[in-house]
Amino acid sequence: MSAEEPVTDLYDLRVVVERIEGRSVCGLQPGDHIDLTESSRLTIPAGRHFCLYALAACLPLLPAKQRPLPPEDWLARDCHVACPDPDERVILRIERTARRQIPTGELT
């Protein structure tokens, strides 16, 4: 990365199952998680799974949570997402785990 090449600051994220207020039909447990790193790399720990519907509930927020936000932005303060299944009531937490600079030309 040269000094003249523009870079974009992005956060790596972890989406964690914080709690389950209903019954876990999908098999998730508190502490289960996925990681989003390097702008677009989604990983699940080996031997684990993650519910597609819980993931779908988080997806619209992840690109915004990856970027630096002003402190007065509601998204800078709010980190919880609820799975849309009313029987399960899985509550997820989006955490920032690391900040990195990525050459802007490498982003899509």
pLDDT in tens, the chain (108 residues): 566 889 999 999 999 999 999 988 899 999 999 999 999 999 999 999 999 999 999 999 999 999 999 989 998 889 999 999 988 999 999 999 999 999 998 887
CA angle 22–27–40, rounded 5-degree value: 105
The model's pTM: 0.91
Cβ neighbour number for residue 1 with a 10 Å cutoff: 10
